[in-house]
Amino acid sequence: MRNWYVVHCRANSERRAETNLLRQDYEVWLPMYYKMRRHARRVETVLRPLFPRYLFVRLDMSSEPWRPILSTFGVHTIVSGADGPLRIGDDIVSGLRARAGEDGNFEISRSVVKAGDQVRVQGGPMADLEGIFETELDSDRVMILLKLMGREVRVSVSGNDIEPL
């Protein structure tokens, strides 16, 4: 019977491990999510692993060889216990896959507010100021419009420091 197992990858080698395991005809799933990244004055959307350094492989331990996985480029080990590799339930993986988008990747939105919503800054140097939510910058920061000194000013604050009004 084929079950899912978790493979622990080397740092930043999830894609390499996935490619090399697929070349060996293993069934592999590497869940990815879209992340906003700022670099060189540009904001771009990139794909990142949902579980950094981990991916899923499906195989039958009794009939398929699993030891070659351990010597695959990008793989560190298989998550194991005293009796060997630990299987995870099909319901866990199928539940995750059901939450993925049409392209198989995840859209993660950390904020409960949408562009144009009124927000209040809870903490930091701009505590108790009210503004308009614009966008998420990355996993930690958001952009809001504040009325300061008689005009609207774009300010980047921690996403944890705002609350909807």
Residues 8-27: tens digit of each pLDDT: 999 999 999 999 999 999 99
What confidence score (pLDDT) does residue 110 get?
A: 57
What confidence score (pLDDT) does residue 109 get?
A: 62
Q: Is the pTM of this model over 0.95?
A: no
Cα–Cα dist 105/126, whole Å:
36
What confidence score (pLDDT) does residue 15 get?
A: 96
Residues 46-60: tens digit of each pLDDT: 899 999 999 999 999
Could you tell me the domains of the chain?
Answer: 3-107 (3.30.70.940), 118-164 (2.30.30.30)
pLDDT beyond 70 at 38: no
pLDDT beyond 80 at 37: no
Cα–Cα dist 84/61, whole Å:
10
Residues 75-134: tens digit of each pLDDT: 999 999 998 899 999 999 999 999 888 888 887 765 577 888 898 888 777 888 889 998
